Amino acid sequence: MSARDDILGGVRRGLGRGPVGGAEAEVVAERVAAHRRNLIPARAATLDAAGRVELFVNMAEAVQTTVARVGSDADIPGEVARYLAAENLPAELKMAPDPVLDTVPWHERPLLQIRRGKAEPGDAVSLTPCLAAVAETGTLMLISGAATPTTLNFLPDTHIVVARAGQVVAGYEDGWDLLRQRAVESEAGLPRTVNFITGPSRTGDIEQRIELGAHGPRRLHVIIVDGAQT
C-alpha cells in the first residue's frame, strides 16, 4: 500500500464511504468547473471606474504604497525620474521586458539608465507592469512570464509598478477572471507565479513594531495612468 493509498483510504474510512462516484462526483466536478463567486464585499463592488481608482489609491496609501497619477504613457518617464530624485535614488532601473511598456517614450529621459531583464543582486530599482490593481484592499496583481520575471518584484529595494486606470478592478475575483481568460487565450495555462502585493515588505517580529523592507522592497510606488493628475 503506497502512502497515497493509505492516506486516501484513511480519509475515506473517516467519511464512511469509498471513492466519490456517480452523482456526487458530478456535483463536486460541477462546483469546480463553475467556480462560483462567494459573497463579495460591497466596498469596491458597488463603485464605478473612477470610484474604484479612488478606493485603490486610498487603500494602497494606507499601507505605505506611494501612488502617482499621470495623464498618459508620455508622462511616465518624467514621473519615474521625479520619484527617483525625490527618494535620493540613482536614476537607474531594471525593467520588465514587457511589450506593454514599449509604448512609453523612455528615450525622452536619456539620463534614466534602463536595462531590461530579470533582477540581479545589484539592482536597486525595478519597474514592472501588473495584470490588475485590486481596489478592495489596494492590492496589485502581478504574474510571472517571459516578459515579467518575478525577481523584479522582490530583489530590488524599490519597486515601481505601472498600472492603467482600466486595470483597476474591484476584487480578487475579477483578477481571477482575467487570469483564466489569459490562460485560455494564450494556451499557456496559468503562470508559475501570481503575486498579490499590498504595500512594501514589512515585519513586526521585533517587539511588534512594524519595520518596512524586511526582505523584499522597502518602497513600492505605483504610477496610475488615467488622465487625472496628482
Partner 1 sequence: MQATSHSFTDNARRELANPTLRRALGMAGTGFPARRADAVARLPEFEALRDQGKAIKDHTIAHLDHYLELYEKNVTAVGGVVHWARDAAEARAAVLDICRSVGAKIVTKGKSMVAEEIGLNEHLEANGITPVETDLGEYIIQLRHEPPSHIIAPAIHLMKEQVETAFRAAHTTLDPARVLTEAPQLCAEARTMLRPQFLAADVGITGANFLIAETGSSIIVTNEGNGDLTQTLPKVHIVVTSIEKVVPTLEDVSTLLRLLARSATGQEFSSYTTMSTGPRRPGDLDGPEQYHVLLVDNGRSSMIGGEFQDMLRCLRCAACLNHCPVYTAIGGHAYGWVYPGPMGAVLTPALIGLDEAGHLPNASSFCGRCESVCPVKIPLPKMMRHWRERQFAQNKAPPTYRYGLKFWAWVAQRPALYHRLVELKARMLDWVGRNRGRFRSLPLAAGWTAVRDMPAPEGRSFHALWAERQRGRG
Contact set for partner 1, span 195-214 (CB under 8 A)? 195-209, 211, 213-214
Residues 109-114: contacts with CB within 8 Å, 24+ apart?
109/77, 109/78, 109/80, 109/81, 111/81, 112/77, 112/80, 112/81, 112/84
Stretch that binds partner 1, among 102-110, 113-121, 124-132, 222-230 (CB under 8 A): 113-121
CB of 187 to partner 1, least distance (A): 12
Q: What mask of x and - would describe binding to partner 1 in positions 6 to 35, judged by CB under 8 A?
A: xxx-xxxxxxx--xx---xx--x--xx--x
Binding of residue 182 to partner 1 (CB under 8 A):
no
Site for partner 1 in 127-146 (CB under 8 A): 136-139, 144-146
154: CB partners within 8 A, 6+ apart: 119, 215, 216, 217
Binding of residue 3 to partner 1 (CB under 8 A):
yes
Sequence letter at residue 1: M
C-alpha–C-alpha distance, residues 35 and 122, integer Å = 42
- Residue closer to partner 1 (CB basis): 73 or 177: 177
Stretch that binds partner 1, among 74-82, 87-95, 104-112, 170-178 (CB under 8 A): 170-178
Binding of residue 66 to partner 1 (CB under 8 A):
no
- Residue closer to partner 1 (CB basis): 68 or 134: 134
Maximal C-alpha separation, the chain: 70
Binding of residue 173 to partner 1 (CB under 8 A):
yes
Buried b (16+ CB within 10 A) or exposed e, 88-109: eeeeebbbbbbeebeebebeeb
CB of 203 to partner 1, least distance (A): 5
Q: How many residues does the chain have?
A: 230
Binding of residue 115 to partner 1 (CB under 8 A):
no
